Amino acid sequence: MGYRVSRVPEDGEKITFANGKINVPDNPIVCFIEGDGIGRDIMTASKRIWDAAVAKAYGGTRRIAWMEIYAGEKAANLYDGDYLPEETFDALREFKVGIKGPLTTPVGGGFRSLNVSLRQTLDLYACVRPVKWYRGVPSPLKQPEMVDVVIFREAVEDVYAGIEYEAGTPENEKLARLLREEFGAEFFEGSGLGVKPISAFGTKRLMRQAVQYAIDRGRKSVAVVHKGNIQKFTEGAFRKWCYELAAEAFGDQTITEDELWDRYDGKQPEGKVVIKDRIADIMFQHMLLRPAEFDVLVAPNLNGDYLSDAIAAEVGGVGIAPGANIGDEVALFEATHGTAPKYTDKDVVNPGSLMFSGVMMLEYMGWWDAVQIIEAAYEKTLAQKVVTYDFARQMDGAKQVKTSEFATALINNM
């Protein structure tokens, strides 16, 4: 396919899929979106780290062929004001794997979030957030090493589906009339109205990814987080469909928590993942007081959003929390924080969130040796107390460095 602005690297090959399995060549083309605000600083630093780890791990036999694609302000400059050019979607569809820095979303009407648009248009239905503690990272918990979970948050349904009607508009009044007159619903005059669709299809494909991940990575349990006690036909149905999927698709590799106690006296049998569920509000308490009891979490969109940031805050906060949006073939890895505009081009922020999103990407590609090199070098750098400002203000005796200097220190520790 021809691209008007982006350039396809000549020395790279496409990542492909066959029967649902990824096939990564030694010189894969990987797309990157630099991002707005602090995006340039953290993308430059992180690419240096990923490239150095891959070179170190494979002695030059493997190398990522980077292809820059555009979204946000940089795209608007290159594509006559278009913040999310069609060519960007085409490249992600063609090359399958990408990584992005943060993008600005102006508050207020008339401008849909670029991040939400990317997820919806490419049907990247699973927002995956691993949250674990690395030795040396400042944490408010007494035992942060207990936190090691991976959250699978549904990303295209629920209140994020964008079905909302502003108070006072004809659409809102029509819907309000229907709800009152046909269904006997009661609510205040002049209410804004939103619809929260949650489907069996959307729920089950998310749960399939989560259970498969738990099996592939030897995780012990998958906990479905929901508010089904109140919203029975959306959140409650989400819970029900998750259990159904686990039984239908992974019946011989999973057991429910009830079965664990009724049939196995609470002792988890070898090779079985336990499927359990928790109500969303108590889950926040569990993740503070008993985080070791949880492993893979599955949640609808809004609860998953809150939960991801809250758990990330336990082990270093948004500055280092990584994330990915994963569909059936296309995967887009991303920093989970925003553009932090006051720090633009100051070379001061923590590149950790984007860097660890790239670590997730290397895992997804099966390049585990490079993953281990980065993780080990990261812990070594933190042990030397070499950190960016956000960690320095929480640590005694820290040596505060710039974003680029942190990358250099980490590479020197590989």
Residue positions annotated with a catalytic role: 160, 227, 281, 305
Whichever of 260 and 326 has its CB closer to ligand NAP, that residue is 326
Closer by beta carbon to ligand NAP, 36 or else 158? 36
Strand partners, 66: 30
What residues does 21 pair with on adjacent strands? 18
Q: Give the SS3 label for residue 79.
A: coil
Of the pair 72, 228, the CB lying nearest ligand NAP is at: 72
304: phi then psi, degrees, rounded to nearest 5: -65, -35
Which residue's CB is nearer to ligand NAP, number 99 or number 176?
A: 99
- Give the shortest CB-39-to-ligand NAP separation in angstroms: 8
Q: How far is the CB of 94 from ligand NAP (least distance, A)?
A: 23
To the nearest whole angstrom, how small is the minimum distance from the Cβ of residue 320 to ligand NAP? Answer: 8
In the complex, minimum distance from the CB of residue 67 to ligand NAP, in angstroms, rounded to a whole number: 20
Transcribe 174-243 into DSSP letters. HHHHHHHHHH-----TT--EE-----HHHHHHHHHHHHHHHHHTT--EEEEEE-TTTSTTTHHHHHHHHH
Question: Which pair of structure tokens corresponds to residue 355?
Answer: 């860097």
- Distance between alpha carbon 1 and the CA centroid of its chain, in Å? 29
* Phi, then psi, of 401 in degrees rounded to 5: -130, 170
Q: Which residues bind ligand NAP (CB under 6 A)?
A: 38, 42, 102-105, 115, 318-319, 334, 337-340, 349-350, 353, 390
Burial of 237 (0-12, 13-18, 19+ CB in 10 A): middle
Max Cα separation, the chain?
70
CB of 101 to ligand NAP, least distance (A): 7
Distance, in Å, from the CA atom of 350 to the CA atom of 205, rounded to the nearest integer, reads: 34
Q: How far is CA 114 from the centre of its chain?
A: 15
Q: What distance in Å separates the CA atoms of residue 368 and residue 381, rounded to the nearest whole number?
A: 20
To ligand NAP, the closest distance from the beta carbon of 307 in angstroms equals 16
> Measured from the CB atom, is 254 or 353 closer to ligand NAP?
353
C-beta of 111 vs 264, nearer to ligand NAP = 111
- Pairwise CA distance, residues 50 & 370, whole Å: 8
Closest C-alpha to 380, from 358, 403, 406, 402 = 406
Q: To the nearest whole angstrom, how small is the minimum distance from the Cβ of residue 277 to ligand NAP?
A: 28
Q: How many CB atoms lie within 10 A of CB 390?
A: 19
Token digits for 280? 């969303």
Sort 263 into a burial class: Cβ within 10 Å, 0-12 / 13-18 / 19+.
exposed
Nearest residue to ligand NAP by CB is 338
Residues 18 and 182: their CA atoms lie apart, in Å, by: 49
**DSSP string for residues in 340-391:** -GGGTTSS-S--HHHHHHHHHHHHHTT-HHHHHHHHHHHHHHHHTTEE-HHH
Indicate the residue among 228 and 316 with the shorter CB distance to ligand NAP. 316
